[in-house]
């Protein structure tokens, strides 16, 4: 896809001033050159099919030249910086070391991850899907040997070099693309002349089969001769794969038959500015717009190679059809060559037939790196008796959908159509956001064009290149500042060759009524929500209705009264669905069969069978309205009492309910873990998990209930493959061991669940923006939320039994085949056994209850603070935090020698063994004297006393704003305080240093240290080139270290930091833990900039 308009009849005649074409020189025969044909693959990526490169002294003068060439072909975050043998054991550093016919791995660091080359060689061809291999597997597993799964081959237009009229269409299928040489032979047969080289239409060489596949849809076939410029216009031959440009007929006047017979000859004079580097190496084109129609893009070629140089005037004669009175022109270039930027001074047009002349001052850059980044300009022409059309800067808002993997890294193009023409195909290049087209993001662009009048449609699409290029477009809004009107273009569909109808270009029509557009969008969202939520209202289900305003569940009392103050365990808060027809249901009390939830005289009540209509909202809540009297709803005030809409202000009333279904995670149940209204967590063939899967059988999981609130999830489609979190990865390759055990955390606000690893407390199954599963720390963000849907209900476990992995059978085995899971910390689900045993030995006979209310008492010393204070609580079964210690009057907290009390909820952390407390340094008081923290359990009255006596300071040389305190037993801490020595190695390159803030978090078998700012180095200036900075991090002993997390925020690329490695030493032991980084921070992956990276201990893979 290119930024050139659509086709039409037009010709160019170079002026007589152009130079003569020189005859080709004779080649002198030299010593024979031995060529090596070598395949290169991507480290750790079996889905990358490799690239073939011919290596000889002519093609690559040095090893660095080869690395630069591979960096353009192998997608790596920082380019190809290392080549090694397939197993990664030996690095290649010289061209002479490469062997003919062999395969090698490319990586951006010295650490190489081997790949299965047989698997990589058998992957599907790139034209079969525009998604990443992982995304394709969601709907169609990638099996190379199954031809039935292949999509239609891609069509390629092939032009003859120097003769654009001679062309043919070729299908890229397996038969003709076995190798690049075989493809050239096939073209020789098709084109009926010897084909030895291929070029892109702008003259760039196409050196490989992969470059052919990823081309714009057309190539120029040549023999031994060099590339010959020509009007290689492909758009009318590739209609399905292109972004349409300007329509041929803009404003129709006169007789069509007479138009086709007339023609116009124009003399075009273009003057390039005399500014430094104003000339261009790119191809210039011009488009003329008349009242009848527009011309084609006319490429202004020269034969002497010296066109459009600094301060020069270039003159051309062009021929177009009868386009009517010309009212604007568009001039642009293809952004190709070594120096594509161009500064145009002025343009002169002369109609040779009529003698009419136009003088057009430009004085603008057409360059990606200048002004607004545009490489084409539209300019109005002045005609007597006609108003001058203004140049308008349209503001274009593009909303990417909320679906997982909805974003794209491809180049997106748009063409806007109005009553007075169109903008042509423009790349949406410079967004107000740092990263464009991310999931759930709205990007704003400016698009300059001669005013188009009333807008009626847009054509938008992408070029289908890059990993994961498929895109879910929600809508586009175009603001016209000249008329102050907004035009909405609703889409809400995929632009993806692997999704929906496979189109990557869509034509959208305007809705000028924004209210109508918003209403349609809301109706569609409600329809999708009902499709996702309707399973809950199946006859036979038992439901609970949670009200977010009151924080309670709807209850129907024996006397027929209704309120919304029930607890989750309240027996009067359960309702059975005994009738269901569409969205009309009867909700019968589970406890009292003669009563049902209903509405009488506009108020909720209990009575005989009453039909209620369920209206799903985009928030995943539901309204309950009367089926008999439309408009009457179940409404409660903030005190949980029944009300109607006239009872008080809107803010004090609530009519939305979160619906919960009982018995979702019974043993042997089959569930779908939805990640959006139409996506679900899915196990892929390579063992990875993605939240962008289709809601189909491939996304079904069988529940194995271990104990109350703890389950395993086995793939239904791939038996004996379990969801797990292990070694910093989240995938579906578990075998049913403790790594596959998850604690189910239910979220009342939206009826979702979160899955916390029992092996690694505090780590949840999370999703990256591209949908891939990854361990994540719990937040209220949706990346850790899953919406369960029951496909098949399970059953309760018999007494004295626990679920174990099935062996392909649905029934539960006899109890002697199962181990009984003991209660209490000795079960060791969440903390590794060593820590659990140590706590068990040191604890008293009574276990502290930790799932209830606690009182936290904080005693401040002589120095108070107005900063925000935060608390974390760690136990052998999990962690709670951050807990904000705040009240309605924060100015009265943490005053000198004052005791502050807080009530907090600490749920399911098990036996507490440490806390972390600190402040954020805000409020103008960066220091805080903390004397003591006391925690008192409200129910059991047990107390934990933590003596701190520490100054938490952000300005002291050896200070810190956070501290950890261990639980004391019999006068001794359960785990001691340790001052870890952390050595951070910055790279040796000149640009490796940074002035940005760097933070670090240590992870061990007993939890983590929290994210600590590394600011007290032994060096006067931190993180300089080749420097080793030494820091100290004090934390309760973490046991054996497992990983570290590095975080670096950089405002611009000049402050990016290259970390070589991190070494952590514990003074009480002689051992050291080495964590290899060897990469930049921040770094880009899947089109997203990441500010943090996890490093695993060397030797622990």
Query: What is the residue-wise DSSP string for 583-598?
Result: TEEEEEESS-TT-EEE
Helix (H) or strand (E) holding 532: helix 514-533
How far is the first Cα of the chain from the last one, in angstroms, to the nearest whole number? Answer: 43
Helix (H) or strand (E) holding 985: strand 977-986
In the structure, what pLDDT confidence band is assigned to residue 752 with cuts at 50, 70 and 90?
very high
Please, what is the average pLDDT of the chain? Answer: 79
Helix (H) or strand (E) holding 1057: strand 1057-1065
Token pair 């087209």 in the structure block, residue? 437
Backbone angles phi, psi at 729, to 5 degrees: -120, 150
Measured CA to CA, the distance from residue 637 to residue 644 in angstroms comes to 9
Measured CA to CA, the distance from residue 858 to residue 864 in angstroms comes to 12
**Per-residue model confidence (pLDDT) at position 648:** 59
* Lowest mean per-residue pLDDT among 226-235, 579-588, 633-642: 226-235
Q: What angle do CA 884, 889, 891 make, to 5 degrees?
A: 90
The one-character DSSP state at 657 is: B
In the structure, what pLDDT confidence band is assigned to residue 807 with cuts at 50, 70 and 90?
very low
**Which two three-digit tokens encode residue 267?**
């003399």
Closest CA to 43 of 69, 68, 95, 78: 78
Token pair 């010897």 in the structure block, residue? 194
Closest CA to 477 of 545, 395, 539, 409: 395
Helix (H) or strand (E) holding 212: helix 209-213
The one-character DSSP state at 987 is: P
Q: Please write the tens of the pLDDT for every residue from 679-723.
A: 999 998 889 999 988 888 889 999 998 888 899 999 999 888 999
The CA distances from residue 951 to 86, 381, 873, 926, 933, in Å, are: 55, 73, 20, 10, 14
Measured CA to CA, the distance from residue 588 to residue 596 in angstroms comes to 4
Token pair 């790949």 in the structure block, residue? 115
Average pLDDT over residues 190-205: 84
Average pLDDT over residues 831-859: 55
**Per-residue model confidence (pLDDT) at position 28:** 35
Q: Which residues pair with 598 in a beta bridge?
A: 605
pLDDT at 611 over 50: yes
Measured CA to CA, the distance from residue 628 to residue 611 in angstroms comes to 7
Q: What percent of the chain has pLDDT over 70?
A: 81
Average pLDDT over residues 810-837: 36
**Per-residue model confidence (pLDDT) at position 808:** 37
pLDDT at 231 over 80: no
pLDDT at 146 over 60: no
Query: β-strands 679-683, 658-661: how paired?
Result: unpaired
Measured CA to CA, the distance from residue 842 to residue 823 in angstroms comes to 18
The answer to whether the Cα torsion of 796, 800, 805, 807 is positive or negative is negative
Closest CA to 588 of 580, 596, 598: 596
CB contact at 8 A, 337 and 280: yes
CB contact at 8 A, 632 and 520: no
In the structure, what pLDDT confidence band is assigned to residue 430 with cuts at 50, 70 and 90?
confident
Average pLDDT over residues 798-819: 35
Model pTM score: 0.50
- Looking at 428-495, which runs of residues are DSSP E strands? 442-450, 455-462, 471-480, 485-495
In the structure, what pLDDT confidence band is assigned to residue 810 with cuts at 50, 70 and 90?
very low
Residue 468 zone, left/alpha/beta (φ > 0; ψ -120 to 50; rest): left
Average pLDDT over residues 209-235: 76
pLDDT at 30 over 60: no
In the structure, what pLDDT confidence band is assigned to residue 517 with cuts at 50, 70 and 90?
low
pLDDT at 147 over 50: no
The answer to whether the Cα torsion of 698, 702, 708, 710 is positive or negative is negative
Q: Please write the tens of the pLDDT for every residue from 544-581.
A: 999 999 999 999 999 999 999 999 899 999 999 998 88
Token pair 């349609």 in the structure block, residue? 520
CB contact at 8 A, 684 and 638: no
pLDDT at 89 over 90: no
**Per-residue model confidence (pLDDT) at position 303:** 47
Query: What is the residue-wise DSSP string for 159-170?
Result: EETTEEEEEEEE
DSSP three-state, residue 1055: helix
**Per-residue model confidence (pLDDT) at position 649:** 59
Query: What is the residue-wise DSSP string for 749-792?
Result: TTTEEEEEESSSTTEEEEE-TTSBEEEEE--SSGGG-BEEEEEE
- Looking at 19-78, which runs of residues are DSSP E strands? 36-42, 51-55
DSSP three-state, residue 4: coil
Measured CA to CA, the distance from residue 881 to residue 872 in angstroms comes to 4
> Burial of 440 by CB count in 10 Å (0-12 exposed, 13-18 middle, 19+ buried)?
middle
> Burial of 292 by CB count in 10 Å (0-12 exposed, 13-18 middle, 19+ buried)?
buried
In the structure, what pLDDT confidence band is assigned to residue 857 with cuts at 50, 70 and 90?
very high
Measured CA to CA, the distance from residue 12 to residue 231 in angstroms comes to 9
The set of residues, in sequence order, having a beta carbon less than 8 Å from that of 1002 and lying 6+ positions away, is: 980, 982, 1008, 1009, 1033, 1035, 1038, 1041, 1044, 1064
Highest mean pLDDT among 77-81, 307-311, 445-449, 1094-1098: 445-449
Q: Please write the tens of the pLDDT for every residue from 858-870.
A: 999 999 988 889 9
Closest CA to 854 of 819, 880, 825: 880
Average pLDDT over residues 624-650: 83
pLDDT at 1078 over 50: yes
Closest CA to 199 of 237, 159, 141, 234: 159
Measured CA to CA, the distance from residue 184 to residue 212 in angstroms comes to 11
Q: Which residues pair with 643 in a beta bridge?
A: 635
Q: What angle do CA 428, 460, 252 make, to 5 degrees?
A: 110
* Lowest mean per-residue pLDDT among 624-638, 730-744, 1083-1097: 1083-1097
Measured CA to CA, the distance from residue 193 to residue 222 in angstroms comes to 9
Is 602 or 256 the better-scoring residue by pLDDT? Answer: 602
Q: What percent of the chain has pLDDT over 90?
A: 29
**Which two three-digit tokens encode residue 225?**
């001769």
The set of residues, in sequence order, having a beta carbon less than 8 Å from that of 257 and lying 6+ positions away, is: none
Cα dihedral: 51, 54, 58, 64 (round 10): 40
In the structure, what pLDDT confidence band is assigned to residue 651 with cuts at 50, 70 and 90?
low
In the structure, what pLDDT confidence band is assigned to residue 625 with cuts at 50, 70 and 90?
very high
**Per-residue model confidence (pLDDT) at position 411:** 87
Highest mean pLDDT among 307-316, 471-480, 797-806: 471-480
The one-character DSSP state at 216 is: S
pLDDT at 419 over 70: yes
Measured CA to CA, the distance from residue 33 to residue 778 in angstroms comes to 60
CB contact at 8 A, 701 and 671: yes
Measured CA to CA, the distance from residue 679 to residue 785 in angstroms comes to 13
């Amino acid at each position: 896809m290119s930024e050139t308009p659509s086709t039409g009849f037009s010709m160019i005649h170079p002026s007589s001033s152009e130079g003569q074409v020189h005859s080709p020189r004779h080649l002198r025969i030299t010593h024979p050159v031995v060529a090596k044909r070598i395949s290169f693959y991507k480290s750790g990526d079996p889905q990358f099919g490799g690239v073939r490169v011919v290596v000889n002294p002519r093609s690559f003068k040095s090893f660095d030249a080869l690395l630069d060439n591979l960096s353009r072909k192998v997608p790596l975050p920082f380019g190809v910086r290392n080549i090694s043998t397939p197993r990664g054991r030996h690095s290649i550093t010289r061209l002479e070391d490469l062997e003919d016919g062999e395969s090698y791995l490319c990586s951006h660091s010295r650490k190489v991850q081997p790949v299965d080359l047989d698997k990589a060689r058998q992957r599907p061809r790139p034209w079969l899907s525009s998604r990443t291999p992982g995304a394709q597997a969601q709907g169609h597993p990638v099996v190379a040997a199954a031809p039935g799964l292949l999509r239609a081959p891609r069509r390629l237009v092939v032009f003859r070099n120097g003769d654009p009229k001679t062309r043919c269409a070729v299908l890229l299928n397996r038969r003709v693309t076995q190798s690049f040489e075989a493809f050239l032979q096939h073209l020789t047969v098709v084109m009926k002349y010897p084909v030895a080289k291929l070029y892109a239409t702008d003259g760039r060489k196409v050196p490989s089969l992969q470059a052919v596949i990823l081309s714009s849809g057309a190539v120029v076939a040549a023999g031994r001769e060099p590339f010959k410029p020509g009007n290689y216009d492909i758009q009318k031959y590739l209609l399905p794969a292109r972004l349409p440009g300007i329509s041929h007929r803009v404003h129709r006047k006169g007789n069509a038959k007479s138009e086709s017979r007339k023609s116009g000859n124009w003399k075009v004079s273009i003057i390039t500015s005399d500014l430094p580097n104003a000339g261009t190496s790119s191809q210039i084109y011009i488009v003329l717009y008349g009242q009848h129609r527009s011309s084609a893009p006319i490429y202004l070629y020269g034969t002497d190679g010296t066109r459009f140089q600094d301060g020069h005037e270039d003159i051309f004669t062009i021929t177009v059809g009868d386009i009517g009175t010309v009212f604007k022109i568009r001039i642009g270039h293809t952004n190709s060559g070594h120096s594509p930027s161009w500064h145009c001074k002025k343009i002169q047009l002369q109609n040779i037939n009529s003698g009419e002349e136009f003088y057009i001052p430009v004085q603008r850059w057409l360059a990606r790196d200048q002004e607004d980044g545009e490489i084409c300009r539209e300019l109005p022409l002045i005609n007597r008796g006609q108003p001058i059309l203004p140049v308008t800067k349209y503001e274009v808002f593009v909303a990417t959908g909320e679906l997982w993997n909805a974003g794209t890294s491809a180049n997106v193009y748009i063409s806007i159509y109005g009553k007075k023409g169109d903008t042509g195909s423009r790349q949406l290049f410079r967004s107000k956001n740092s990263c464009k087209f991310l999931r759930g993001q709205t990007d704003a662009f400016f698009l300059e064009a001669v005013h188009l009048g009333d807008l009626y449609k847009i054509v938008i699409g992408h070029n289908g290149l890059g990993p994961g290029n498929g895109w879910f477009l929600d809508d586009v809004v175009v603001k016209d500042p000249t008329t102050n009107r907004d035009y909405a273009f609703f889409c809400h569909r995929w632009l993806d060759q692997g999704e929906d109808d496979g189109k990557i270009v869509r034509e959208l029509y305007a809705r000028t009524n924004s209210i109508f557009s918003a209403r349609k969008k809301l109706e569609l969202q409600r329809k999708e929500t009902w499709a996702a939520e309707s399973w809950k209202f199946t006859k036979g289900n038992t439901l609970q209705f949670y009200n977010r305003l009151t924080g309670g569940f709807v209850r129907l009392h024996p006397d027929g009264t209704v309120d919304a103050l029930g607890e989750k365990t309240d027996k009067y808060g359960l309702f059975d669905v005994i009738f269901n027809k569409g969205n009309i249901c009867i909700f019968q009390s589970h406890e009292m069969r003669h009563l049902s939830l209903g509405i009488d005289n506009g108020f909720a009540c209990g009575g005989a069978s009453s039909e209620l209509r369920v209206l799903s909202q985009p928030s995943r809540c539901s309204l309950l309205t009367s089926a008999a009297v439309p408009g009457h709803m179940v409404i409660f005030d903030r005190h949980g009492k029944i009300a109607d809409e006239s009872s008080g202000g809107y803010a004090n009333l609530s009519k939305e309910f979160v619906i919960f279904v009982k018995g979702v995670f019974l043993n042997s149940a089959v569930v779908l873990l939805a990640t959006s209204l139409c996506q679900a967590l899915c196990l892929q063939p390579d063992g990875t998990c993605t939240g962008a899967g289709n809601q189909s059988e491939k996304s079904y999981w069988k529940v194995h209930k271990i104990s109350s609130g703890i389950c395993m999830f086995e793939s239904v489609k791939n038996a004996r493959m379990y969801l797990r979190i292990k070694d910093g990865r989240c995938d579906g390759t578990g075998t049913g061991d403790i790594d596959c055990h998850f604690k189910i955390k239910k979220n009342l606000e939206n009826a979702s669940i979160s899955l916390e690893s029992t092996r690694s407390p505090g780590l949840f199954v999370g999703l990256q923006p591209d949908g891939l599963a990854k361990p994540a720390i719990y937040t209220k963000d949706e990346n850790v939320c899953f919406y369960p849907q029951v496909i098949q209900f399970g059953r309760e476990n018999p007494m004295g039994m626990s679920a174990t992995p099935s062996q392909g059978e649905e029934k539960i085995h006899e109890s002697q085949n199962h181990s009984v899971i003991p209660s209490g910390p000795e079960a060791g689900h969440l903390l590794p056994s060593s820590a659990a045993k140590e706590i068990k030995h040191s604890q008293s006979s009574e276990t502290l209850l930790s799932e209830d209310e606690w009182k936290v008492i904080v005693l401040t010393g002589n120095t108070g603070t107005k900063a925000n204070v935060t608390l974390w609580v760690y136990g052998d079964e999990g962690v709670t935090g951050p807990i904000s210690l705040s009240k309605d009057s924060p100015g009265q907290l943490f005053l000198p020698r004052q005791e502050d009390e807080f009530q907090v909820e600490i749920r399911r952390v098990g036996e507490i063994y440490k806390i972390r407390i600190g402040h954020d340094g805000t409020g103008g008081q960066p220091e805080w004297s903390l004397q003591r923290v006391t925690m008192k359990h409200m129910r059991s009255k047990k107390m934990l006393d933590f003596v701190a006596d520490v100054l938490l300071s952000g300005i002291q040389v050896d200070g810190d704003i956070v501290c950890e305190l261990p639980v004391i037993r019999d006068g001794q801490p359960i785990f001691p305080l340790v001052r870890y020595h952390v050595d951070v190695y910055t790279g040796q390159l000149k640009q490796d240093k940074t002035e940005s803030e760097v933070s670090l978090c240590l992870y061990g078998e007993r939890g983590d240290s929290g994210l600590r700012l590394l600011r007290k180095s032994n060096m006067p200036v931190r993180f300089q080139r080749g420097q080793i900075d030494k820091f100290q991090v004090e934390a309760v002993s973490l046991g054996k270290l497992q990983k570290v997390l590095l975080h670096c925020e950089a405002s611009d690329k000049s402050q990016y930091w290259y970390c070589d490695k991190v070494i952590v030493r514990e003074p009480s032991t002689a051992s050291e833990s080495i964590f290899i980084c060897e990469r930049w921070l921040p770094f880009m992956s899947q089109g997203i900039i990441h500010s943090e990276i996890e490093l695993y201990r060397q030797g622990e893979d």
